[in-house]
Amino acid sequence: MRPKRWNAAGRNVPTVHLPSRREGRPEGGRRALAEHAAPDYVSHVSTFEPAPTEYRVTATAGPHGASTLNTGGVPLDIDTRWGTESLGEPGPAELLAAAFAACLLKNLARCRDLLEFRFVEAHVEVIARRQDRPPRFVDISYTVRVTTDEPARRVELAHQNLRKFGTVYNTLAAVCEVHGSMEAHPPGETSGC
């Protein structure tokens, strides 16, 4: 008996038997196999829309440093004051670190959906270090703490996917040192999540 597979919504996903070459697997690669095994899957694949490749953000600043960032219709107050104490809004450095953290979490969701990586909760901590001359980021370190009952090899596979498929991750890794870890904690254990 084959093991049951579960999707992200916790529903049983039927497994599809794909014939071996000896059993008469159709020629033509994965699409032919998919058509052979599940014609409705092929119609889903052919209508798949890729993620947008262009992102638009607008920002507005007043004369006294009160600034607002707008992305997707959602306003966010940001700190663009020069020479004064921050009032608590995120500045450019925090926004960059936040984008990196969001990238890690979005790719963890990708792992959940594509690799069926099960987790209850995830917590990300990012530390971005900069130098003054020339001003730039030189090091980004991160820790991903995930509450899961997945085995260690699956946790490492998910971590490899975070490093390989993150757009923000790959962009920053091309210009500064990026390193980090992914820690797994079983449900019920205090993990910082």
Alpha helices, DSSP H, located in the chain? 29-37, 39-46, 92-114, 152-165, 167-173
For residue 129, which of 121, 139, 142 has the smallest C-alpha distance? 139
Say whether pTM exceeds 0.75: no
Mean pLDDT of the chain: 80
Residue 138 has pLDDT above 80, yes or no: yes
Report domain extents, the chain: 5-46, 53-90, 91-193
pLDDT in tens, 76-93: 999 888 877 777 889 999
Residue 88 identity (one-letter amino acid): G
What is residue 192's predicted lDDT score, i.e. its pLDDT? Answer: 56
Burial (CB count <10 Å: 0-12, 13-18, 19+), residue 104: buried
pLDDT above 90 covers what percent of the chain? Answer: 57
What number of other Cβ atoms are within 10 A of residue 35's Cβ? Answer: 15
107 or 193, greater pLDDT? 107
pLDDT in tens, 141-184: 999 999 999 999 999 999 999 999 999 999 999 999 999 999 99
Q: Is 131 helix (H, G, I), strand (E, B) or coil?
A: strand
CATH assignment, 91-193: 3.30.300.20
pLDDT above 70 covers what percent of the chain? Answer: 71
Q: Best-predicted range by mean pLDDT among 23-37, 47-61, 118-132?
A: 118-132
